[in-house]
Structure 1
Amino acid sequence: MIGVTGYSGFVGKVLLAQLQISDILLLGRQKSPNYNQFKLFDLNSTQSLDLVDDLHLVDTIIHIAARVHVMNDGSSDPLAEFRAVNTEGTLNLARESARANVKRFIFVSSIKVNGESTTGKQPFTAFDIPSAEDPYGISKYEAEQQLLELGKETGMEIVIIRPPLVYGKGVKANFYSLMKFVYKGLPLPFRSIKNNKRSLVSVYNLVDLIKVCIEHPNAANKIFLASDDHDLSTAEMVALMAKVQGKKNLAIPVPVWCFKLAGKLLNKGDVIDRLTGSLQLDITHTKNTLDWAPPYSVEHGFKLAAKKSSIK
């Protein structure tokens, strides 16, 4: 049996559709009509979980649920709130899993554990010294470290997956907004941002990797980076969004220095860095260790993200 958290989210929905098995225990705050086995579970709860009886037949937990990263967090203490869910909530579940003799715990973390940018640097690897900068990344890093320690103490196998931006049909946030602007034919000023490189991962490739990690013997107690293994500049990303939506690429060439100047004047340097800078992942370790390669192309993921049910 497999236990899954975050099943109602963007990644979780695709995972459930791809698993194609009925022997799944859902752990969450709302019941899915397609699955009978369900246990109320709240990552933010301070109460005892008492899940041992429910988890005793579970072989693998796939933990996707999290307090997600947002650009402008209005919390008075963002780090404390991220820790409560992403660190303590994760560890509470993992401890119960270990008590129930769950064999493997797969934790979907974030590339933000490595850092925010690879501009002027080599791509991130699974062996880099972590350099999390924001509360979300810090909370994920702390969860990773405590999970690995718990694994050593209990013998439960820990698998950590760090994805970058995940996209696909139903994607929201900045990716969705950019796709929508391209669909509407707006002349976006990004044609000259062509020397940066960004790693992305389609939800379909990420789910395929998760499925491999369920049983692969080499996955135990290792950290894996996930990507499509095909990095894009901002200009290339906009061009591909136009292509898959059957639109002309109306991007105009505004020099990169203009963006950087605007970032300084408006105190938005971090936003401009994400737009013009690089964030690349080297997934050689993932591919070699698991004998895995992303089965879906970037264009495949962009096409599904551009479904008209998603972009309006």
Structure 2
Amino acid sequence: MKVLVLGGNSGFIGSHLSKSLVSSFESKFVSMRNLDWMGDDFSPNCIINLVGKAHDFTGLAKEEDFYYANFELAKKAFQIFLSSSATLFIHISSLAAIEEIEALNPLSEFATSNSVTPYGKSKRAAEEWLLAQTLPSGKKLIILRPPMVHGEGDKGNLNQLFKLVNKGIPYPLTKFKNKRSFLSIENFCFFIEQILFKKDNIETGIYHLADDETLSSNEIVKVIKEETGFNTPCLPLPKSLVRWISKVGDRTSLPLNTWRLKKLTSNLVVSNKKIKIALSIHRLPLTAKEGLRETIRSFQK
């Protein structure tokens, strides 16, 4: 099988996926910034769209930046799929397309959208556009919604929490009890491989990806301390005080604001039942805690 990956292999997910696919598939990673490759004789069976914009630690990105990367380029990628020999289009969306803050019950693929940021809204807009398109006979569309994906090279919220703990700053959120779904990059690549191997068994539609188990913020901090050996103290501040501090952070440069507090302490659980049934997956290569430990070890390199 030949696999064309749009988005290149220099990014976090692309770099891992390129290593994962090389042993079983003939793959080609290309950038949407340079379409010269379209004249090549590479005829893919599957196209994976990794193009998108997620993290903005500078605070300079505008709403139109997210919509261009996550919506307009998704449409362009789909047009490439239609004009190609590929029979399968895998679009990497995000759980943020339907929920970015909190879900008390495990989210299924049928959950109502509750996106609030340009990132989440642009991801949802792309999903809706793709699902509204007419697929030619013999072609399939798979939309994947992972929660936060972590692993070596990740620069997201988990990496920020790791840096906070490593600086010896007392962790003040121990009073908050939560459950959140994550996805290790190893398990992400495993899902992609299984879709490619069993593409005849999976139908067009949206599928949630996630590790089988959830993790709490307190568990994550504990693992970071175990893996690093740093005895960073915990500071069990009252919830009311922490919430007040986060509101101050909304108006100042404090590292904790109400948005970040919600991301660290709320429940956000994802059901991966649909895709596991479709692909006859009984267990993933890594448990949630094993994947977390692999990621923390990579941060120390």
If the TM-score is normalised by the length of the shorter chain, which range does it land in? 0.7 to 0.9
Task: Name 1:8's counterpart in structure 2.
Answer: 10
Question: CA offset at residue 138 of structure 1?
Answer: 1.4
Letter of the 2:174 counterpart? R
Question: Counterpart amino acid of 2:54?
Answer: V
SS in 2 for 1:2: strand
- Residue of structure 2 equivalent to 1:27: 30
Distance 1:56 1:24 in 2: 9
**Residues 223 and 293 of structure 2 are in contact (CA less than 8 Å); yes or no, is this contact kept in structure 1?**
no
Structure 1 stretch displaced more, 102-111 or 162-171: 162-171
Which residue, out of 192, 205, 209, partners 1:210? 192
Could you tell me which of 253, 258, 271 is aligned with 2:236? Answer: 253
Matched, 1:169 2:156: no
Answer with 275-284 or 51-60: which moved more: 51-60
Partner deviation per Cα, 1:9-54 (whole Å, 9 max, x = no partner): 11111111111246222211xxxxxxxxxxxx32xx8xxx587644
C-alpha offsets along residues 258-301 of structure 1, whole Å, 9 cap, x if unaligned?
22122234433222211221211111222222222322122322
Distance in 2 separating the partners of 1:51 and 1:96: 12
2:245 equivalent to 1:242: no
Secondary structure of the 1:161 match is strand
Moved more, 102-111 or 243-252: 243-252
Following superposition, the deviation at residue 245 of structure 1 comes to 2.6
Greater Cα offset, 104-113 or 122-131 = 122-131
Q: Which residue among 62, 66, 72 is the counterpart of 2:48? A: 62
CA distance in 2, matches of 1:219, 1:212: 10
Equivalent position SS for 2:229:
coil
Q: Does 1:144 align with 2:119?
A: no
What is the Cα deviation at residue 112 of structure 1?
0.3
CA contact (8 A) 2:179 2:216 kept: yes
CA distance, structure 2, for counterparts of residue 178 and residue 55 of structure 1: 45
TM-score, normalised to structure 1, is 0.84
Q: Is the 8 A contact 1:256 1:276 kept in 2?
A: no
Asked if 2 retains the 8 angstrom alpha-carbon contact of 1:244 and 1:299, the reply is no
Determine if the alignment matches structure 1 residue 298 to structure 2 residue 288: yes
- Deviation for aligned residue 1:106: 0.6
Contact 1:202/1:301, CA 8 A, preserved across alignment: yes
What is the aligned residue count? 290
- Give the stretch that moved more between structures: 200-209 or 173-182: 173-182
Please tell me whether residue 311 in structure 1 is matched to residue 300 in structure 2.
Answer: yes
**Amino acid in the other structure paired with 1:112:** A
1:181 alignment partner in structure 2 = 164
The question of whether the paired residues in 1 share the 8 Å contact of 2:30 and 2:37 is answered with no
Distance 1:81 1:155, change over 3 A: farther
Could you state the TM-score of these two structures normalised by the residue count of structure 2?
0.87
CA RMSD for the aligned pairs? 2.4
2:145, 2:41 → 1: CA distance?
25
How far, CA to CA, are the matches of 2:16 and 2:106 in structure 1?
28
For 2:45 and 2:223, the matched residues in 1 are separated by 41
Which amino acid is 1:197 matched to?
K
Q: Percent identity?
A: 27
Q: Deviations over 1:162-189 (max 9, x none)?
A: 1111111222132112213333444222
Counterpart CA distance in 1 for 2:139 and 2:38 is 14
Q: Aligned partners of 2:122 and 2:248: how far apart in 1?
A: 31
Query: Larger deviation: 152-161 or 5-14?
Result: 152-161
The answer (yes or no) to whether the contact 2:166–2:232 under 8 Å persists in 1 is no
Give a deviation string over 1:164-216, Cα, whole Å, max 9, x none: 111112221321122133334442223222x2111111111111111112242
1:256-271 equivalences under 5 Å are: 256-267=239-250, 268-271=257-260
Alpha-carbon distance between aligned partners in 2 of 1:275 and 1:99, rounded to the nearest angstrom = 43
CA contact (8 A) 2:165 2:224 kept: yes
- Deviation, 1:249, is 5.7
Give unmatched runs, 5+ long, in structure 2: 251-256
Q: Is 2:281 aligned against 1:283?
A: no
Q: Aligned partners of 2:151, 2:174: CA distance in 1, in Å? A: 23
C-alpha distance in 2 between matches for 1:233 and 1:260: 18
The 1:198/1:253 distance shift into structure 2, 3 A limit, reads same
CA–CA distance in structure 1, aligned partners of residues 69 and 232 of structure 2: 41
| CA distance 1:244–1:219, shift in 2 (3 Å) | farther
Q: Which residue of 1 aligns with 2:204?
A: 221
